[in-house]
Amino acid sequence: MLVGCLWQNDHIVTVSLGGTIYLYSASDLDQDPVILCGHMKNVNSLVVLKTSPETILSSSYDGFIFKWIRGVGFAGKLERPDKNQIKCLAAVDEEIISSGFDNKVWRIPLTGDECGEANIVDIGSQPKDLSLAIRDHELALISIESGVVLLRGTQVLSTINLGFTVTACSLAPDGTEAIVGGQDGKLHIYSVKGDSLTEEAVLEKHRGAITVIRYSPDVSMIASGDANREAVVWDRDSREIKLKNMLYHTARINSLAWSPDNTMVATGSLDTCVIVYEISKPAASRTTVKGANLGGVYAVSFVDQNTVVSSGEDACIRLWKITPQ
């Protein structure tokens, strides 16, 4: 349904009820229109495809997944057979895995601009976070309130009760280690063997519920954020704190990302700001993007070494050029 139209020089511009803008050439009406589209609801997840770092996938609360290309903008809507709401999204170049509020995990093959037939797994509890083993993306870790679920493809390997309230999780790229964050602010490190987890260590520093955990690209470090506005960088081997006093947000940290060369960490917060820390410098020498997304930053990622992309409550995708201090 069209809700508006106008002439603009040699173009006819129309706007649909769904928010899509069509630009027609007035001198050649047989020519296909240029289509501009975007999210209508808050954007809660971002993924930068590793083998194509110019390509960004974003998902919004209302279940839409859009593809963006740096320097071009909107590059298409990934059509899915079911528009269920999306809470968590992860992706590699061949596959998207998502979860919502229906106790189900969706594994969707990705071929170019099209989604294949989805494989749906009902895990019996509402997913709170999900993580893929990047080097073995058949393996996925799903956190639920009481523990975690290990998936191999569409097969549930195990549902493990961990004995504490789980709030976040991350799976090592090779799938041999998992880190699970709790409501108590602790990071529990497990070795993964087959369908079981064995606890190896517990890291304590956070004073709020863990909201996000990420391995560095070279897997030598771990970064974590909490609901008490603090982020911490850990050395993976020694399990000692590598960068502390990352306390410059004024509200919970919703998202966290590593730069491709492992030298910087970006955090996105409910306070609308993105903060970039350099690992080799004190936290006080941070770079702050104020008002990055009005209403709160829900997702953040590095597109390249000096470019950060953020999204949030305002339904916008924004790219920021970062100049280290």
pLDDT at site 61: 83
Kindly report, residue by residue over 26-43, the tens digit of the pLDDT: 888 888 888 888 888 899
Q: Residue 248 has what pLDDT?
A: 97
pLDDT tens for the chain, 325 residues: list them.
888 889 888 889 999 887 788 889 988 888 888 888 888 889 999 999 877 778 899 998 888 888 898 888 888 888 776 667 888 889 887 888 988 888 889 898 877 667 777 888 999 898 999 999 988 889 999 999 999 999 998 899 999 999 999 999 999 999 999 999 999 999 999 999 989 999 999 999 999 999 999 999 999 999 999 999 999 999 999 999 999 999 999 999 999 999 999 999 999 999 999 999 999 999 999 999 999 999 999 999 999 999 999 999 999 999 999 987 6
CA distance 318 to 284: 25
Say what the pLDDT of residue 315 is.
92
Tell me which residue has tokens 């523990």. Answer: 147
3-class SS string, the chain:
CEEEEEEECCEEEEEECCCCEEEEECCCCCCCCEEECCCCCCEEEEEECCCCCCEEEEEECCCCEEEEECCCEEEEECCCCCCCCCCEEEEECCEEEEECCCCEEEEEEEECCEECCCEEEECCCCCCEEEECHHHCCEEEEEECCEEEEEECCEEEEEEECCCCEEEEEECCCCCEEEEEECCCEEEEEEEECCEEEEEEEEECCCCCEEEEEECCCCCEEEEEECCCCEEEEECCCCCEEEEEECCCCCCEEEEEECCCCCEEEEEECCCCEEEEECCCCHHHCEEECCCCCCCEEEEEEEECCEEEEEECCCCEEEEECCCC
**Per-residue pLDDT at 242:** 96
- Was domain 205-324 assigned CATH 2.130.10.10? yes
pLDDT one-digit tens code per residue, 125-169: 989 999 999 888 899 999 999 999 999 988 999 999 999 999 999
User: What's the pLDDT at 224?
Assistant: 98
Domain boundaries, the chain: 1-36, 205-324
Record the pTM: 0.90
